[in-house]
Amino acid sequence: MAAIPGTAHEDIASRPGGDTIVSHVVRWTFISVSLLFLAALLFAPLATVFVMAFAKGWRAYVTSFTDPDTAAAIRLTLTIALIVVPINTVFGLAASWATAKFEFRGKSFLITLIDLPLAVSPVISGLIYVLLFGLRGWFGTWLQDHDISIIFAVPGIVLATMFVTFPYVARELIPLMQQLGNDEEEAALTLGAGGWITFFRVTLPKVRWGLVYGVILCNARAMGEFGAVSVVSGHVRGLTNTMPLHIEILYNEYNFVGAFAVASLLTLLAVVTLIVKTLVERTGYRRR
């Protein structure tokens, strides 16, 4: 979802009937309805996060992060993102190379399958791994006999997060690579460059903004995923609690400063994500 540049903005008075009282009324009605709707639904909740986080002052805000369970949740979320994002990035690069550079039968079907996790409810994304690896799942008994825990442990959280964020890098790169074509790559190969050199020196610089875009979206989703992770995590404090899950626990314990303090970090992450996204779009990169 990209911000659309304002190409249709022209001086309203230069258009026929543009400077009448009616057109001014319509114009300000549209602008105020939009702003009121966004204020109630989006800006008020965003402001609430920070107001609630600082409700008892700076000291309480900062102190809430010294809680060992909160610190553990932040560490776990960072660990999960550090595992999931690079793997999905490599997958996205491989998938886009295979589908954008070559013609083969079943290609559009393959692309549809890659997008599949986006259509699935987050709860289902967690459920499917419980059905596979949970105690009463397909491999439950085998895993128990071999003393391996996936569900209610970190591997399950990694798998569920990977499923949810699976398509983000790939769906950014596939249309971009298709659009940019293969001419430079073919020229590089003709001039004697190897496959890897061509990839790192020609293709990667060509698609770099699409890659940045996909990676930051993937990262934002990986750090913020709630539903899928909630199903597989088991909510063990200090062990399998990610930041979004920890927010739920603190909130349900009426520790509002703590809950909103963690929420404020995730809100800042979302703001940074949107800023990077806007900067990438300013380079001329546009999502199709």
Partner 1 sequence: MATLKQPSVLPGFGLTFGFTTFFLTTIVLIPLAALVLMTASITWHDFVKVVFSARALGSYRLSFGASFLAASINLVFGFVIAWTLVRYEFPGRKAIDALIDMPFALPTAVSGIALTTVFAENGWIGQYLQPLGIKVAYTWIGVTVALTLIGMPFAVRSVQPALLEVQRDLEDAAETLGASRFYVFRRIILPTVLPALLTGFTLAFARAVGEYGSVIFIAGNLPLKTEITPLLIVIRLEEFDYKGAAALGFVMLVISFAFLLTINLLQAWGRKRLISRVR
Core vs surface per residue 213-248: b (16+ CB within 10 A) or e: bbbbbbbbbbbbbbbbbbbbbbeeeeebbbbbbbbe
Contact 172, 210 (CB under 8 A): yes
Find the length of the chain.
288
Contact 2, 279 (CB under 8 A): no
Residues numbered 6-35 forming contacts with partner 1, rule: CB under 8 A: 6-9, 12, 15-17, 22, 26-27, 30-31, 33-35
In the shown chain, the binding pattern of residues 36 to 75 toward partner 1, with x for contact by CB under 8 A and - for none, equals: -xx-xxxxxxx-xx--x-----------------------
Contact 130, 229 (CB under 8 A): no
* 179 near partner 1, judged by CB under 8 A: no
Query: What is the sign of the dihedral through the CA atoms of 230, 233, 237 and 241?
Result: negative
Residues numbered 224-283 forming contacts with partner 1, rule: CB under 8 A: 224-227, 230-231, 243-245, 247-248, 251, 259-260, 263, 266-267, 269-270, 273-275, 277-278
Kindly indicate which of the ranges 57-65, 68-76, 206-214, 215-223 contains the residues binding partner 1, using the contact rule CB under 8 A: 215-223
Residues 114, 84: Cα–Cα separation, whole Å: 16
| # binding residues, partner 1 (CB under 8 A) | 106
Residues numbered 136-165 forming contacts with partner 1, rule: CB under 8 A: 136-138, 159, 162-163
> What is the closest distance, in whole angstroms, from the C-beta atom of residue 57 to partner 1 in the complex?
18
Residues numbered 99-118 forming contacts with partner 1, rule: CB under 8 A: 99, 101-106, 110, 113-114, 116-117
Residues 169, 217: Cα–Cα separation, whole Å: 8
> What is the closest distance, in whole angstroms, from the C-beta atom of residue 278 to partner 1 in the complex?
5
> What is the closest distance, in whole angstroms, from the C-beta atom of residue 68 to partner 1 in the complex?
21
